[in-house]
């Protein structure tokens, strides 16, 4: 009886060890999406009145958690009864990621004006207007998070698609939890950087004090951090997409084996090329649609 109990504990320990190893692999695979998720949410959570940043971020975080609660069971059902659908969704997600990365590069090289709403501040808008705009921005952020959450879950699930369903559930759920708690925790720190900086400056009596220096550094660093995350997220998007194409599309898999260069360069090149191909089709479709509706 006792020996059976210890055998069970040993089996559980072995499973958890396997889960830990696979979780590390899945985390590496989803790092690009997490980086983009971090950049997108840091940008969306900034621009609010200082007193509203954390409440807004908390509302988005709850929406993100609900997104994953909806997505995870559907993904597990597909994995159990229609595993080929996971690969199909993975490739489609890769096309979306490649398109998104290529679009960001295209807009950087050929910038065009976007309609930008006024910043949300207590002086500009009434309390009712602030809450109304907040609701719209929270809704938009949660919708964006849903798309990114689908990609995170599918990519994580794709790394353990051949494993038993129990391990698939554990690994994917761990990654989903990290994606929510980790990303939004870091976003909370990022969006409060400037506020922490202002407080250090305010309470510093000496002009040349270390606290004032750090305060000024934090205030000036916030926009640079967000821009850096955007650049890193864009590169990561293309790399993740290229990795999906190289590993799951036979043509690109065989092509990559014939070309002698680092795998990261091959994956980035494939992701970038397909991203611009998708971007060209999307832009062409938009032009044709405009002509029909004109």
SS3 per-residue string spanning 227-247? HHHHHHHHHHHHHHHHHHHHH
* Tens-place pLDDT, residues 57-83: 888 888 888 999 999 998 888 878 887
* 3-state SS class at 75: helix
Q: What is the pLDDT of residue 167?
A: 78
Q: What is the pLDDT of residue 277?
A: 94
Q: Which residue has the tokens 């506020």?
A: 195
> Of the ranges 39-43, 99-103, 280-284, which one carries the lowest mean pLDDT score?
39-43
Q: Is 215 in contact with 201 (CB distance < 8 Å)?
A: yes
* 3-state SS class at 161: coil
Q: Which residue has the tokens 């850096």?
A: 228
pLDDT band, very low/low/confident/very high, at 14 (cuts 50, 70, 90): very low
Angle between helices 165-191 and 53-81 (to 10 degrees): 160
Asked if the model's pLDDT at residue 248 lies above 70, the reply is yes
Q: Is 200 in contact with 212 (CB distance < 8 Å)?
A: yes
* Tens-place pLDDT, residues 108-143: 888 765 544 444 444 455 667 767 777 887 887 788
> Of the ranges 88-102, 125-139, 247-261, which one carries the lowest mean pLDDT score?
125-139
Contacts 24+ apart (CB under 8 A), 20-25: 22/159, 22/160, 22/163, 22/167, 22/171, 23/171, 23/174, 23/175, 25/159
Q: Is 159 in contact with 81 (CB distance < 8 Å)?
A: no
> Of the ranges 30-44, 65-79, 93-107, 173-187, which one carries the lowest mean pLDDT score?
30-44
Asked if the model's pLDDT at residue 275 lies above 90, the reply is yes
Q: Vertex 143, ends 124 and 48: CA angle to 5°?
A: 20
Asked if the model's pLDDT at residue 2 lies above 60, the reply is no
Task: Compute CA distances 195 → 127, 178, 210, 213, 220, whole Å.
Answer: 21, 26, 17, 14, 11
* Tens-place pLDDT, residues 189-240: 777 777 778 777 777 777 677 877 788 887 788 778 777 777 877 887 788 8
> Is the pTM for the entire model greater than 0.85?
no
Which has more pLDDT, 273 or 150?
Answer: 273
| Both structure tokens of 157 | 């699930």
Per this entry, what is the length of the chain?
294
Torsion (CA) 29, 35, 36, 40 in degrees, nearest 10: 150
Domain ranges for the chain = 2-293
Which DSSP category does 198 fall into? H
Task: Compute CA distances 211 → 152, 191, 194, 195, 225, whole Å.
Answer: 39, 19, 13, 14, 20
Average pLDDT, the chain: 76
* 3-state SS class at 157: helix
- Residues 85 and 137: their CA atoms lie apart, in Å, by 32
* Tens-place pLDDT, residues 162-171: 777 787 888 8
- Residues 76 and 161: their CA atoms lie apart, in Å, by 10
Q: What percent of the chain has pLDDT over 90?
A: 7
Task: Compute CA distances 250 → 16, 179, 198, 263, 287, whole Å.
Answer: 33, 30, 54, 16, 33
Contacts of residue 216, Cβ cutoff 8 Å, sequence gap at least 6 = 197, 201
Q: What is the pLDDT of residue 113?
A: 58
Asked if the model's pLDDT at residue 147 lies above 50, the reply is yes
* 3-state SS class at 103: helix
Q: What is the pLDDT of residue 274?
A: 94
């Amino acid at each position: 009886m006792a020996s059976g109990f210890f055998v069970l504990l040993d089996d559980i320990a072995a499973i958890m060890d396997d889960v830990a190893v696979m979780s590390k692999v899945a985390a590496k695979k989803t790092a690009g999406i997490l980086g983009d998720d971090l950049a997108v949410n840091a940008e969306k959570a900034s621009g609010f009145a200082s007193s509203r940043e954390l409440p807004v971020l908390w509302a988005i975080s709850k929406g993100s958690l609900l997104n994953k609660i909806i997505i995870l069971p559907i993904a597990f059902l597909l994995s159990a009864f229609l595993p080929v659908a996971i690969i199909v969704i993975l490739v489609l997600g890769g096309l979306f990621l490649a398109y998104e990365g290529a679009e960001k590069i295209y807009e950087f090289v050929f910038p065009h004006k976007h309609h930008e709403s006024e910043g949300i501040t207590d002086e500009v808008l009434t309390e009712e207007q602030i809450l109304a705009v907040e609701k719209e921005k929270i809704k938009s952020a949660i919708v964006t998070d849903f798309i990114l959450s689908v990609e995170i879950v599918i990519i994580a699930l794709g790394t353990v698609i051949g494993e038993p369903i129990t391990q698939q559930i554990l690994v994917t759920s761990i990654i989903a939890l990290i994606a929510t708690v980790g990303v939004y925790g870091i976003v909370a720190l990022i969006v409060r950087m400037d506020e922490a900086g202002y407080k250090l400056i305010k309470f510093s009596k000496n002009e040349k004090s270390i606290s004032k220096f750090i305060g000024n550094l934090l205030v000036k660093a916030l926009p640079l951090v967000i821009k850096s995350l955007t650049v890193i997220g864009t590169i990561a998007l293309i790399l993740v997409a290229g990795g999906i194409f190289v590993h799951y599309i036979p043509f690109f898999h065989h092509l990559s084996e014939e070309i002698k260069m680092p795998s990261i360069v091959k994956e980035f090149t494939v992701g970038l090329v397909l991203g611009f191909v998708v971007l060209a089709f999307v832009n062409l479709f938009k032009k044709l649609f405009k002509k029909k509706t004109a």
